Structure 1
Amino acid sequence: MSSCAKADASSSPALEKAALLGREFSLAWLRAAGVSDPEVAVLFDQVILIPAAQHASARFADPSLPRKIVRTIPWSRARDHHLVLAEAAKQQRLAAEVVAEHFEAAHRFDLARAQWMKAGETSCHAGDYKKALRLISRALAIWPWDEAADDRARVLREMARCATNARLTDEARKAWEELADHARDTGKHDLRADALHQLAILSADPVRAGELLAEASKLATRELGPEEAFRHGLAHVDLLVNRVRVAAAKLAFVAVEEAALKSKNPALQSEMLGWKALIAAMAGEAGDATRFVEEGMQIAITHQLPEQVAFAYKRRANIADYAGQYSLEKHSHNVAIRYCRESQTGEEIVCMGCLSYACFRTGDWKEALDTAREVLGQPDLHPGLRAIAGGVRGMIAAFRGEKASAFRHLDEAIRLQRAEGMVGMEFLTLWALAYWHDCQGEGAKACAIYDEIRTLWRESDDLHDSIPGLLFAGAHYADHGRAVQLADCIDIIGEILRKNDLPEARATLLALGAEQARLEGDHEACDKALREAAALQIKAGLPLEQLWIESRHPRAEDHKGVIALATKLGTKPLLARLKGEDCGDSASGLTPRQCEVLSFLATGLTSKEIGDRMGLSTRTVEMHVSRIFERLNCRTRPEAVALAQARGWIKLP
């Protein structure tokens, strides 16, 4: 008997319901949908259904039959069947998405939405955010815009949360955009401010993020209470501070300060003063910064607010950083970590990220690496913290000459810093990345990055973080005879010094002046300026910058003390320069054979004479000379010799 004949001989409603359940289904579900045992028996007797592998289940003997039957069921009867099947599924406690499918097919969209949401919440609680997002999207797809708008907004929030957890940025953005429109149309100012805030967080464009946060801040200041105005205003200020837009941050901070004072909330007022101190420090106003942070500290202590005490210590550390007091910065971060742990806020990981950077600057590289590794080992680490800790690991690796490790960490760090708008850390990472390229003999790439540091400075209000990068950039420009670019570095440092008189800035200005004197042939002035610059870097407590300046000094016999320091830090490229060793290492990017050729070039020998001494053909020597020119980015033999001598790779007889 054919399948169609069997279908005709069976009970039509029973077969239709079975077909709507699919190829395989629970018999209990079919019975709960009103199909009697005799009707089920007929379907088995006629071998339309056969037992399935799963207990108390059935399946169609012909897998193609359900689809054929479904196509023949009138629409209205199919709708009625689906409604019955949905109710039966609920009775059998089947999965909510199964119930939702049948309610939706029965055009009971209100009931279907509820089940899709229930299914989505279940998946969300189980941590399956992608599945949750798909299920919630099904609910929204059958939800009219103007029906139960508040409930829809709640669902959109849940959708945005799931999308964020699943790292599906586009889906999260769509949800918040709809929420922002809904809030605007319904006059829900708190929801719109939150939506704008979240859209800013999701934006890959820092400028657009700033515009969204500014709009949220203005809305909150105009329409919401002081605490909400404080929160949204501070988010905008935070973004501007990260981007080192100090002048704009000062303007935006006015609303934050007003909201904190209006709130009469000691915690907000203490936090506000901490932020005010940070902005002042970034503007080179160290005295005001110290006064503000101490006022905030006093409020926190008076009102017994451990979170705010920890925050005040963090700000003390930031002020010390911008004042060039790195040992004090380390101490303040350590105290802040202790307070964070006592208050159990979980914020100590933020302080630890900043501590790793402070340890890098002071030359405590073991502590820096240990702290950075601990930060990077945290689950669900914020990208900003990963950018700081990974950047520290990359910087240390770069200055130690660890090629692969340095590039891996620096490349990830710079990508995260740009995504998060962390311009201060970007200056420092670019500094290390340019040095890394220089060590690989990739002068053109290094030069492009040093150019980028100068450009980035002009786009910001930086008075601190660009200084070490400009120190190394000026030396690079001098080595390659780029007097105009060197002069620009000197002008930038001069501008920084006029607003923020730091020992490290004065040292950098002296060192760059020395490079300029060397280009002009005034070796006595160069020697004097380098000595003074090195002494200032020692006073500032910056061993890496001290080593760099010492490595530029032409008399290697003066370097015994710093050689011990370079050995302790493990800065192999700088150590090689300080020792005046053969240039065949990562510091030069030249092979030992090329260095040998370069040494003979310095004596004025021709290619043939060099070949005779080295046992090479003239053509092979010329090949080595060509490679040397390429590595040093020069065109003539005298220029190559001068560059190599300036870098300490060779000594003239």
Structure 2
Amino acid sequence: MASDVDSPPLVGRADQVATLRSALLDDVPPGHTAAVFLTGESGVGKTRLLHEVGDRLRGGGAVVLTGSCLDIGDASPLHPLRHALRRFDAELTATRARTSSTVRGLLQMFAEESAGPDGAGALLERVSRGLSLIAGGRPLVLVLDDLQWADRSTRQLLLYLLAGLGDLQLSVLAAVRAESLQGAHPLRRVLTELRRLRSVRVVDLAPLDRADTDELAAAVAGPALTPEAAELVWQRSGGNPFVVEELARDLRDGHDGLSDTLREIFLARVEALPTPTRSVMQAVAAGVEPVEHWLLARAVPLGEQELIEAVRAAVAHRLLVGADDGYRLRHRLVAEVLADELLPAERAALHRRYAEALTAVPADLHQARLAHHWRLAGEPARALPAAIAAAEEAERLHGFAEAHRHWSAALQLAAPATDPAGGTDRARLVERAAEAAHHCGEHARALELLAELAAGPGAPTTCELHIRRARYLAAAGRSAPAEAEYRSALAAADCSPRERATAAAHLAELLLHLGRYADAGDRAREALALAADVEGAASEVVLASAALGFSQAYLEDPESGLAAVREALEVAERSGRPEDVACAYLHLAELLTGPLNVLEEGVVVARRGAERVAELGLGRTYETRLLAIATNGLFRVGQWAEAEKVVAAALRHRPSGADAVELLLARCRLSVGYGDVEASDRDLDAVATMLAGGGARHVLPMLILRAGLAMWQGRPDLARQAVARGLTESRSDDVIVLATLAWHGLRAEAEAYADRTAEVDHTAVRRLRGVVDRVAAKSEQAARPVRYVAEGFLALCAAEVSRLDDGRGDPELWARSVTEWDRRNHPYPAAYSRLRQAEALLGRRARVATAGKLLRQAYRMAQGLGAEPLSSEIRTLAGRARVALEERPAAAARPAAPRAVSPPVASGGDELDGLTAREREVLAAVAEGLTNREIGQRLFISERTIGVHVSHIFDKLQVRTRVQASAIFLRNAAG
């Protein structure tokens, strides 16, 4: 039994404390991330568990930042992080002056942050960098309470950091009220997606069982707890620790019987308080927690000493919790009880005193609280400017969801037409609220506000309203009415030449996304004709030219399409607007590497464009997108070592959002090909973390990579799951992506059949064959370059289906696939097809010599790429068939290794011939005596990937130590 009855022991949670400490600290490797989300009903002990685990983590050497989320209606963007930083700063001693300076600098950044060309992504990166400095190389843990109230910016930051993009060892421990996650709560979807990840746990905190309930009640009530009373506590509390403590305290204090409800418990306890203490409780209940001491002193008319005594009494009665950052009620039910005790005039007076105090003391990011208090004080004229300021603060920090709420509050406070006190234009408020709603995804609300704007005085022109409504409808996925609105804009009598050009360009883009390529081309030409007569219409020209180019490329006129996009780039360069130049380069690179399938030129354009936009200050956004395009192009043509360098250079920008996802997927393709399972898993988990916040267009590429990795791991069951999820969740009409997914699905079924590891899922096969038929039909309507790529994947699908007949496949169908991919100069699928063709021939005991030749060709291609899983499978089949893979032409006839990507090797260096270009680079660094970490820093790739390369080098050279490998390298380099 605890001796301190006002601080009862933590009962029934010891195992969970130990487990959470391990999950967040001991089991997290350096450079990795982890998260635990505690869910449960109010009072179940989430907050207490956060404190206990936080103390254990500090004891384990971690830097722990602890913050709480406010009720979302009163929160500013990133409030819990600012709260945690302020608390951490208060805990620092004078000996930690450097860390304290970093913390204060980060807080100052929030106050000064403004939108730039890289938007919210740059803010996330600067926050991450600041947290890295605070951590100082130690593990960092964010402990957040009441995460159900987290603002959208905080959710985005958590996903960014948990994806490993912040380059620090981070763990997150957060508590969420289960009853708050109802309906379409944004956190509900995030948690659903995060549950899939191995680095994330969602722990449902259950009430105490009967034994633990009795132990806790006894610790609080002491001798007053009779068996009969213990039974009653159990029946009324249901094991909820908070209720157990309150009921047991009722018994201990000698109350006759037990109160029927917690409201009665709190009401009786508050009524027993001295008058000054009741005043303090009422003030805190009316405030926005935490209520700082100085602010409470302004709200409560008590002397300083009397105020301190009153606060101490409230804390002693366990109604109030005091901390360095202010005071909080121990349970929000107290606020409800006290609210009923105040007269309306008393309540308004309290809020007025709070508002006057906040107005008199300038502080950063408190406008939301100021608006809240002036509004409840019955002063709408004074609340309105604060609400507007709060909305602008939120927009400055890219918190559009919070901005939307504050603009909506401002609308409620403003007069029907104008605010006489401040001269606020209501039409302007409606317009800002509509834009904020649109940016945060509340498209229906944006349309409602636009309707109000159209009906009121000061409304925009009819044409402008049509364009705005079309934008909102398109963003909401309502393409048909969006198209009608754009057409109405073009037909409006008051439409200016610029507005007509804008409407036509956006309509062309919309039609392109709908697959109506001919209509898109017509509208794009119209937009270009209109823009020709408008000065400074470069943005419209770029958008329309891109739509025209893609339209023509899909409609059998690739040359004209390419010319249109090149012209857009010329226009953008002449205008000099950075976003236009970047957009034009992006469209040109996408066109070349996409519909036109001119990969080498597309890679060159993407890399040249990346250099250009970097000069224009758009490195974190457009440069990373262009480098992702270049990486994927290099991967497809087999230049994996160069692709690895490009993606590493791009990731140094620490991108966020969709840009980060594109790069992580590009790097993961390389890791899957190399056979680096750990790196692949980590990238896929990072992508899944980022996609938990939205991003449906990247789901299919992620699942395709997950399926491909599972196949090389010998887990066709996992590949099946990934493909099935892709077919269920995606609505993509991209024939190339769909064909790739279908190939992976059919390959998984064929592998399961060949290995006899599972029964063939005939339903899945029928579904996949339906996808193949749909791809074939759709590709017939596409341009020749699109059909060209689709036909390669369709050949793979047909050959995989043939394996389902006898487990070996049809050699002729695999030969066709070889031909298709050789023509496209895509070595990876060409090597895989050779492997399967050889397997089919050997299974039929026919043309064994041809099979051997195919295996040797496939092996050379796979080794040149560094594709170890594919090489391993080829070696396995060759071993069973007794086929020698190492037959080589004479050294004099063998071409020299490319000088640009590998160290010089003497003409007689036969021992190094089996190494890829990247492996030669790694071996040269090994011979210098560098560690894996140092090699990774030099080559801009991960330490784990270097380890994989070193293992492959050892296998190929048949050595066991770095010394032996170095000796071989030096011998060949000197020879």
Q: Is the 8 A contact 2:467 2:486 kept in 1?
A: yes
Q: 1:556: how far off? A: 4.0
1:355 Cα deviation from its structure 2 partner:
1.6
Q: Which residue of 2 aligns with 1:319?
A: 591
Larger RCO, structures 1/2 (Cα 8 Å, 6+ apart): 2
Give the alignment partner of residue 528 of structure 2, picking from 250, 260, 267: 260
Trace 1:596-607 onto structure 2 (pairs within 5 A): none
CA shift in 2, pair 1:330/1:135, >3 Å: closer
Deviation at 1:292, TM superposition (A): 2.7
Q: Does 1:221 align with 2:490?
A: yes
Counterpart secondary structure, 1:107: coil
Structure with larger Rg: 1
Query: Aligned partners of 1:328 and 1:369: how far apart in 2?
Result: 18
For 2:468, the aligned partner's letter is: D
Q: Aligned partners of 1:526 and 1:446: how far apart in 2?
A: 23
Equivalent in the alignment of 1:348: 623
Structure 1 residue 438, shift from structure 2 partner: 3.2
User: Is contact 2:505–2:543 with CA below 8 Å preserved after alignment?
Assistant: no
- Matching residue's letter, 2:604: H
The structural deviation recorded for 1:276 is: 0.9
**Structure 2 partner of 1:151:** 425
Q: Contact 2:749–2:804 at 8 Å: present in 1 too? A: no
Measured in 2, the distance between the counterparts of 1:79 and 1:492 equals 66
Q: 1:497·1:505 contact (CA, 8 Å) conserved in 2?
A: no
> For 2:667, which of 374, 393, 401 is the aligned residue?
393
The count of residues paired between Structure 1 and Structure 2 equals: 536
Residue pair 1:473, 1:489 contacting (<8 A) in 2 also: no
Pick one of 866, 869, 875 that aligns with 1:579.
875
Structure 1 counterpart SS, 2:837: coil
1:278–1:319 Cα contact (<8 Å) kept: yes
Alpha-carbon distance between aligned partners in 2 of 1:20 and 1:317, rounded to the nearest angstrom:
57
Contact kept in structure 1, 2:549 and 2:564, CA below 8 Å: yes
Q: What is the distance in 1 between the residues matched to 2:792 and 2:398? A: 54
Superposition deviation, residue 113 in structure 1: 1.7
Aligned residues of 2:696 and 2:730 also touching (Cα < 8 A): no
Question: 1:398 touches 1:435 (CA, 8 Å); kept in 2?
Answer: yes
Give the match for residue 544 of structure 1: 828
Q: Residue 501 and residue 458 in structure 1: after superposition, are their counterparts in 2 closer, same or farther (change >3 A)? A: farther
Residues 490 and 513 from structure 1, CA distance in 2 versus in 1: closer, same or farther, beyond 3 angstroms?
A: farther
Q: Determine whether 1:194 maps to 2:462.
A: no
Structure 1 counterpart of 2:606, which letter? H
Shift of 1:542: 0.8
SS of equivalent to 1:319: helix
- Does the Cα contact within 8 Å between 2:739 and 2:794 map onto a contact in 1? no
In the TM superposition, residue 151 of structure 1 has moved relative to its aligned partner by 3.4
**Counterparts of 1:24 and 1:510 in 2: how far apart (Å)?**
73
User: What is the distance in 2 between the residues matched to 1:157 and 1:297?
Assistant: 33
Aligned to 2:451: 181
Unaligned runs of 5+ in 1: 8-15, 34-39, 585-653
Contact 1:274–1:311 (CA under 8 A) maintained in structure 2: no
Alpha-carbon spacing, 1:452–1:499, altered in 2? closer, same or farther (3 Å): farther
Q: Deviations over 1:626-650 (max 9, x none)?
A: xxxxxxxxxxxxxxxxxxxxxxxxx
Determine the structure 2 residue equivalent to 1:564. 860
Equivalent pair of 1:197/1:232 in contact (CA under 8 Å): no
* Distance in 2 separating the partners of 1:160 and 1:471: 44
Task: Note the alpha carbon deviations across 1:113-140, whole angstroms, 9 max, x for none.
Answer: 2234345545765788887777656544
Give the alignment of 1:268-347 within 5 angstroms.
268-297=540-569, 311-321=583-593, 322-346=595-619, 347=622
- The one-character-per-residue Cα deviations of 1:371-398 (angstroms, maximum 9, x if unpaired) are 4455455456342x23322222333333
Q: Structure 2: how far apart are the matches of 1:128 and 1:304? A: 30
CA distance in 2, matches of 1:513, 1:564: 25
Q: Is the 8 A contact 1:400 1:573 kept in 2?
A: yes
CA contact (8 A) 2:391 2:403 kept: yes
Change (3 A) 1:364 1:449: same
Offset at residue 330 of structure 1 (A): 0.6
User: 1:574 offset after TM fit, Å?
Assistant: 1.5
- Whether contact under 8 Å (1:566, 1:572) holds in the other structure is yes
Once residues 661 and 286 of structure 2 are traced to their aligned partners in structure 1, the CA distance between those partners, rounded to angstroms, is: 54
Q: How does 1:226-241 map to 2 (within 5 A)?
A: 226-231=497-502, 234-235=505-506, 237-238=508-509, 241=512
Per residue, is there more helix in 1 or in 2? Answer: 1
Counterpart of 1:545, as a letter, is P
Change (3 A) 1:284 1:400: farther
Partner of 2:425, secondary structure, is helix
Give CA-to-partner distance per residue, 1:313-335, whole Å, 9 cap, x none. Answer: 44443333223221111112122
Contact 1:417 1:426 in 2 (8 A): no
Q: 1:276 to 1:372 in 2, by over 3 A?
A: same
Alpha-carbon distance between aligned partners in 2 of 1:161 and 1:278, rounded to the nearest angstrom:
30
> How is 1:429-578 mapped onto 2 (pairs within 5 angstroms)?
429-443=702-716, 446-447=719-720, 460=733, 462=734, 464-470=736-742, 480=753, 489=772, 492-493=775-776, 496=779, 499-502=782-785, 504-505=789-790, 507-508=792-793, 526-527=810-811, 530-531=814-815, 533-554=817-838, 555-578=851-874
Query: What's the CA shift for 1:548?
Result: 1.4
C-alpha separation between the residues in 2 aligned to 1:87 and 1:518? 78
Distance 2:719 2:294 in 1: 67
CA gap 1:281/1:29 in 2 versus in 1, 3 angstroms: same
Cα separation, 2, equivalents of 1:545 and 1:69: 71
Q: 1:284 Cα deviation (Å)?
A: 4.6
After superposition, the Cα gap between the structure-2 partners of 1:444 and 1:537, relative to the gap in structure 1 and judged at 3 Å, is: same
Distance 1:253 1:345, change over 3 A: farther
Contact 1:270/1:296 (<8 A) preserved: yes
**SS state at 2:608 partner:** helix
Equivalent residue in structure 2 for 1:108, among 372, 379, 391: 379
Per-residue CA distance 1:565-601 (angstroms, 9 max, x = gap) = 32343323321222235999xxxxxxxxxxxxxxxxx
Secondary structure of the 1:363 match is coil
8 Å Cα contact 1:293/1:316 also seen in 2: yes
Go from structure 1 to structure 2 and tell me whether the alpha carbon gap of 1:458 and 1:287 turns closer, same or farther (over 3 Å shift): farther
- Correspondence 1:381 to 2:656: yes
Q: TM-score, normalised by structure 1?
A: 0.63
Q: Structure 1: which amino acid aligns with 2:564? A: F
Change (3 A) 1:81 1:162: same
Letter in 2 for 1:251: D
**Secondary structure at the residue paired with 1:541?**
coil
CA distance in 2, matches of 1:533, 1:445: 25
| Preserved contact between residue 213 and residue 232 of structure 1 (Cα < 8 Å) | no
Counterpart code for 1:225: S
C-alpha distance in structure 1 between counterparts of 2:805 and 2:391, whole Å: 72
How many percent of aligned residue pairs carry the same amino acid? Answer: 17
C-alpha distance in structure 2 between counterparts of 1:496 and 1:418, whole Å: 32
Any unmatched runs of 5+ in structure 2?
1-270, 276-281, 320-334, 754-759, 839-850, 881-975
Q: CA RMSD in A?
A: 5.5
Q: Give 3-state SS (helix, strand or coil) of 1:246's partner.
A: coil
Q: Deviations over 1:139-185 (max 9, x none)?
A: 444445565597345445666777899xxx47x55762442232332
Mapped partners of 2:795, 2:384: distance in 1: 71
Residues 457-508 of structure 1: CA deviation (Å, up to 9, x unaligned): 9973x45444544555555566648797669747844863675445555555
